[in-house]
Amino acid sequence: MDVAKLLQQHVDLMDDMFKEGLLDEQFNQLQQLQDESNPNFLEEVVSLFFEDSQRILENMTETIGKDPIDYKVIDSQVHQFKGSSSSIGAQRVKNVCVTFRTCCDKEDKKGCQDALEDVGEEYNLIKKKLETMLELEKQIVAIGGTLPFMEGC
Amino acid sequence: MHLILFLPFTPPPPPPPPPPLFSQCLLWVLVVLERNANGHRQRKVLLVEDTRINRIILRKVLQNLNLLCDEAENGKIAVDLHVQGNSYDLILMDKEMPVMDGHEATRQLRLMGVKTPIIALTGNALQSDRELFFEAGVNDFQTKPLSRDKLVQLLIRHGVESSIPAAG
Residues of B in contact with A48 (CB under 8 A): 52-53, 56
Contacts (Cβ under 8 Å, ≥6 apart) of A14: A23, A133
* Tens-level pLDDT at each residue, chain A (153 residues): 689 999 999 999 999 999 999 999 999 999 999 888 888 999 999 999 999 999 999 999 999 999 999 999 999 999 999 999 999 999 999 999 999 999 999 999 999 999 999 999 999 999 999 999 999 999 999 998 888 887 665
| Mean of pLDDT values over B40-50 | 89
**Residue A128 region, left (φ>0) first, then alpha (ψ -120 to 50), else beta?**
alpha
Is the confidence at residue B101, as pLDDT, over 70? yes
Instruction: Dump pLDDT digits (tens) for A70-104.
Output: 999 999 999 999 999 999 999 999 999 999 999 99
Q: How far is A1 from chain B (nearest CA, A)?
A: 31
Distance CA B17, CA A151 (A): 46
| A26 and B CB contact within 8 Å | yes
Nearest beta carbon to residue A33 from set B53, B64, B98:
B64
Q: Give the Å distances, CA to CA, from A81 to A114, B21, B24, B51, B138.
A: 16, 68, 68, 9, 26
Q: Do B123 and A45 touch (CB under 8 A)?
A: no
Nearest beta carbon to residue A86 from set B52, B61, B123:
B123
Count of Cβ atoms closer than 10 Å to residue B146 Cβ: 21
Q: How far is A80 from chain B (nearest CA, A)?
A: 7
- Which candidate, A84, A88, A9, places its Cα nearest to that of A41? A88
Mutate to test the interface with B, among A54, A87, A91 (most CBs of B within 10 A): A87
Residues of A in contact with B60 (CB under 8 A): 33, 38, 41
First-to-last C-alpha distance (Å) of chain A: 25
- Which candidate, A116, A124, A118, places its Cα nearest to that of A61? A116
Q: How confident is the model at residue B2 (pLDDT cuts 50, 70, 90)?
A: low
- Which candidate, A33, A29, B162, B78, places its Cα nearest to that of B154? B162
| B125 and A CB contact within 8 Å | no
Residue-level pLDDT at B5: 53
Residues of A in contact with B57 (CB under 8 A): 30, 33, 45, 87
Distance CA B79, CA B109 (A): 6
Is the confidence at residue B127, as pLDDT, over 90? no
